[in-house]
Amino acid sequence: MNKTLKIILGPTAVGKTDYSIETALRYGSPVISCDSRQIYREMSVGTAVPSPEQLAAVKHYFIHSHTVTELYTAGKYELEALELINRLFAEGHDTLVMAGGSGFYVDALVNGLDDFPEADLNLRSQLTVRLHDEGVESLRQDLLKLDPESYHTIDIANGQRVVRALEVCLMTGRPFSSFKTSPKRKRDFEIEKIGLIRPRDVLYDRINRRVTQMIDDGLVEEVRSLTQYRSLSALKTVGYKEIFDWFDYLDGKVSTEGWGPTSPGDGPVTTLERAIELIQRNTRHYAKRQMSYWGRDKGIRWMEI
């Protein structure tokens, strides 16, 4: 009998956690998380990790498995997840269930990573200075000109990912997206991808309500507890960045002076209510980019829930 990995995909807040647990219980499988933020044990509320009840219902892997100070990559995930999957199959599982939140991590697991060029630390430093001085929007516009495909598929709310994509474009003279064309690596098991969708208005309402629930569950306190790690890539994440920006205003680090309705960007985050609005908006944008990313994959079987 062929061994099968069922990967449950879909935009944030669509309901992957519940569906993955139901599927795992049906097959006697654990749930293997494929989320680049839920792996961090210091981040819970803002990453929407499964609840204690959900974690108790079925064994989960790659939830709170690493510390936020660790430089964790899709390449590391590929190696660690493959080792786990092969071990679980060897132990007797015929079907395993994966909950896929991060498209790049899913691609790394399914197809293997492409041979991206080594980092140019000089260029990266220059781009990082620009990110700090000019803001991410300026770099986004450069990326849009050099590599429209990456602009529409990577998480452009994450300044570090925009920096990396631009770095590759400028260093090689090729679009960052052009490196995603290496032959797929063969895996020793079947892979079935199931994509979950909901009507857009329903999904957006779920996103808005989830953000409100995160605030009630202590997101502000969680972000405050992570202040010392703010410079780390993991904290450049929707839900954390906006709260940090609000803290900056409260601490007097930014001012509304000279900013008006016609000024570029979102402006200072002067209230918690404004931070919530931005988190909801940016999460909706992220969900849209997730669907664009997976929309190119003809191997996904989509189902409305």
**CATH number of the CATH domain containing 172:** 1.10.20.140
Residue ranges of the chain with pLDDT lower than 50? none
The confidence score (pLDDT) of residue 9 equals 97
Shared domain check, 10 and 130: no
Residue with tokens 């896929």: 100
Q: Report how far residue 287's alpha carbon sits from residue 131's, in angstroms, rounded to the nearest whole number.
A: 23
Q: Report how far residue 120's alpha carbon sits from residue 178's, in angstroms, rounded to the nearest whole number.
A: 18
- Give 113-126 pLDDT, tens digit per residue: 766 777 777 788 88
Shared domain check, 229 and 191: no
Q: Six-digit token pair at 134?
A: 């000019």
Shared domain check, 127 and 109: no
The confidence score (pLDDT) of residue 206 equals 98
Residue 178 backbone phi and psi in degrees, to 5: -70, -15
- Write b or e for each residue in 65-98: b if 16 or more Cβ atoms lie within 10 A of its Cβ, otherwise e: ebebeeebebeebbebbbeebeebbeeebebbbb
CATH number, domain of 251, equals 1.10.287.890
The confidence score (pLDDT) of residue 40 equals 97
Shared domain check, 111 and 14: yes
Long-range contacts of 224-232 (CB under 8 A, 24+ apart): 225/42, 226/42, 226/43, 226/68, 229/42, 229/68, 229/69, 232/68, 232/69
The confidence score (pLDDT) of residue 299 equals 94
Dihedral Cα 181, 184, 185, 190, nearest 10 deg: 150
Q: Report how far residue 97's alpha carbon sits from residue 305's, in angstroms, rounded to the nearest whole number.
A: 18
Shared domain check, 151 and 229: no
Q: How many other C-beta atoms lie within 10 A of the C-beta of residue 55?
A: 16
The confidence score (pLDDT) of residue 173 equals 83
The confidence score (pLDDT) of residue 95 equals 98
Shared domain check, 105 and 43: yes
Shared domain check, 139 and 109: no
| DSSP count for the chain of H helices, then E strands | 12, 6
Residue with tokens 């990573």: 113
The confidence score (pLDDT) of residue 73 equals 82
Shared domain check, 220 and 175: no
Structural domains counted in the chain: 3
Shared domain check, 167 and 211: no
The confidence score (pLDDT) of residue 177 equals 84
Shared domain check, 274 and 258: yes
What range does the domain containing 271 cover?
201-286
The confidence score (pLDDT) of residue 115 equals 67
CATH number, domain of 60, equals 3.40.50.300
Q: Report how far residue 187's alpha carbon sits from residue 241's, in angstroms, rounded to the nearest whole number.
A: 37
Shared domain check, 147 and 69: no
Shared domain check, 57 and 194: yes
Close Cβ partners of 285 (under 8 Å, ≥ 6 residues apart): 157
The confidence score (pLDDT) of residue 259 equals 72
Please list the alpha-helical segments (H only) found in 7-120: 16-27, 52-57, 74-90, 103-111
The confidence score (pLDDT) of residue 183 equals 64
Please name which of 9, 191, 19 lies closest in space to residue 95, comparing C-alpha atoms: 191
Please name which of 138, 108, 125 lies closest in space to residue 164, comparing C-alpha atoms: 125
